[in-house]
Amino acid sequence: MLLSRMLLKVPRLFVGAQRVTMPRGFRPDRVLREMDFASHERIGGMEPVQEFIEHLRVLYLALVEQVGPEGAVAVCSPGPREGRSLITANLAVAMAHDTGHPVTVVDLAFRDPAQADLLDVEPGPGFADLRPGERVARVLTPTEHPDLDLVQPGDPGANGTKLLQSGRLDALLRELKAAGRFVLIDTPPAAAGVDARIVAERVDGVVTVVRLGRTKRSDLAPYYRAFRDLPLLGVTCNGHERWLPGWLQRFL
């Protein structure tokens, strides 16, 4: 289940959640395809995949309302294996399909990149391969989804953090936004180092991904301390409703 009611006035990091039933047969590594957007009504309500898509729509509309149609949003998580990359990919696919507005996913998870596999593109040059002053078009990879492109991480070697601080990321975001694109950035997990924080300082807003049954309250305390001065837009939760802990239920 994906939980994504955004932008409600609740305490601290938790900006609410709207419940989304994951469709039967929807594998953890599954990204939406064109046929998933065909309307399949059933007696008593929508098919599960349609319900999933509808709540992705709630999420991206809330983001656009907050940061604008040419905004940049970092998708962050406290730790690994919390669904950050999958949510980034599905959110981008849904937004590009529905709106026809150009969307770019930027994969900056240097140590464990996932977007090329999720969006089914061949590995290629990426952000780390851009030279100062070079245009982003050289590393902009089209996907099978109209209006959706990918910037892969490239190979930063041991200098990923230094590269993010070099000003090259600021230039990349300025160019993409000036071209009228909405940008979603897949970051490394916050617990892996300072890279997620560096990226989050350079965007218009941050969406936090947690996984029910995996993310602990103690994981969120250091995350909140590190990100509390940044524009935290809301929380998206992966998992199943029966795993929803009591401390999180009171925010829903």
Say if residue 58's pLDDT is above 90.
no
75 compared with 50, residue with greater pLDDT: 75
Question: Which helix (H) or strand (E) is 223 found in, with range?
Answer: helix 217-227
169-185: pLDDT as tens digits: 999 999 999 999 999 99
Is the pLDDT at 52 greater than 70, yes or no? Answer: yes
Give the residue with greater pLDDT, 249 vs 131.
131
* 233: pLDDT strictly greater than 80: yes
Q: What's the confidence (pLDDT) of residue 241?
A: 52
pLDDT at 51: 73
d(CA 151, CA 199) in angstroms, rounded, equals 15
Indicate the pLDDT class of residue 30, thresholds 50, 70 and 90.
confident
pLDDT at position 46: 58
The full length of the chain comes to 252
- Show Cβ contacts of residue 211 under 8 Å, excluding neighbours closer than 6 positions: 77, 81, 82, 83, 237, 238, 239
Confidence of residue 142 (pLDDT cuts 50, 70, 90): very high
pLDDT for the residue 41: 57
pLDDT band at 12 (very low <50, low <70, confident <90, very high): very low
Of 3-7, 128-132, 172-176, least confident by mean pLDDT is: 3-7
Query: How does strand 45-46 pair with strand 72-76?
Result: unpaired
CA-nearest of 102, 98, 115, 97 to 71 is: 102
In the chain, the domains with their CATH numbers are 2-249 (3.40.50.300)
pLDDT of residue 19 exceeding 80: no
Give whole-number Cα distances, 230 to 86, 205, 237, in Å: 23, 8, 20
CA atoms in the 13 A half-sphere facing the CB of 251: 24
* Segment among 31-40, 110-119, 166-175, 214-223 with least mean pLDDT: 31-40
Contacts of 62 (CB under 8 A, 6+ apart): 6, 7, 233, 234
Question: Whole-model pTM?
Answer: 0.84
